[in-house]
Chains A and B, each alone.
Chain A
Amino acid sequence: GAGVSQSPSNKVTEKGKDVELRCDPISGHTALYWYRQSLGQGLEFLIYFQGNSAPDKSGLPSDRFSAERTGGSVSTLTIQRTQQEDSAVYLCASSLVLGQVYGYTFGSGTRLTVV
């Protein structure tokens, strides 16, 4: 597609429920990144994919968070047993191979609210 697409744009969920957030990167971009933006924490790195593998998962805050990428394209970030502190905007970015060389393109994010 023309840009990085994220869905849903907004999600309200009850505490304890599982949620899935989707990222559709720019066609041909092999690298995909998830970030979280929350009040007081700024923009935090969560996980990075190169193709379908995740060389760096160091930012995932707990084992309730997981992500996968299939076909070198769409990625899904799953949060199990959501907590109120998970409320944030989840941003996805993609890049052509290496983001630092080719640049990162960000989506508009999914605003997650846990009530």
Chain B
Amino acid sequence: AQKVTQAQTEISVVEKEDVTLDCVYETRDTTYYLFWYKQPPSGELVFLIRRNSFDEQNEISGRYSWNFQKSTSSFNFTITASQVVDSAVYFCALSEASGGGNKLTFGTGTQLKVEL
């Protein structure tokens, strides 16, 4: 069965600090997809990134970067020079290619608070 663990329930940082959100996953599939979503106070889930299990290249998009390590089953997300607008709940999610019904299994989320 697939499982996603986000051990950090809440993180508070001061603006301009770097912050890393941890995500550890479990799956028996060799082909799977990992996602990060942002949920601002408005409630809508905003897509940030998708990686497949065969692509372990790290990715950078502006202030956001992702570190995918199959050896440790982790897909961590770093925000560089955080801003108040980054305050939100961030969810990591996993979708297996087979047997999972194409559904997403979410972690419990990490509440990020960025203060001035």
Contact = CB atoms under 8 A, between A and B. Distances in A.
Given A56-B101, A56-B103, A100-B102, A43 B44 contact: no
Contacts of A109: 43-44
A107 B93 CA distance: 17
Which bucket holds chain B's interface residue count?
20 to 34
A11 to B, nearest CB: 14
B104 A42 contact: no
Contacts of A26: none
Interface in A65-115: 89, 91, 93, 98-101, 103-109, 111
Interface in B40-55: 42-45, 47, 50
User: Chain B at the A interface: mostly helix, strand, loop or mixed?
Assistant: loop
Contact of B95 (A42, A99, A108): A99
Interface string A45-72: 1001010000110110000000000000
B102 A89 contact: no
A115 B55 CA distance: 48
A99 B104 contact: yes
Contacts of B35: 104
Interface of B: 33, 35, 37, 42-45, 47, 50, 91, 93, 95, 97, 101-109
Given A55-B101, A109-B44, 20 more contacts: A33-B103, A33-B104, A35-B104, A35-B106, A42-B107, A43-B91, A43-B104, A43-B106, A45-B103, A50-B102, A56-B101, A56-B103, A99-B102, A100-B50, A100-B97, A103-B50, A104-B47, A104-B104, A107-B44, A108-B43
24 contacts: A42-B106, A42-B109, A43-B93, A45-B104, A48-B101, A48-B102, A48-B103, A50-B102, A56-B101, A98-B102, A99-B95, A99-B102, A99-B104, A100-B102, A103-B50, A104-B47, A105-B47, A106-B37, A106-B45, A108-B42, A108-B43, A108-B44, A109-B44, A111-B43
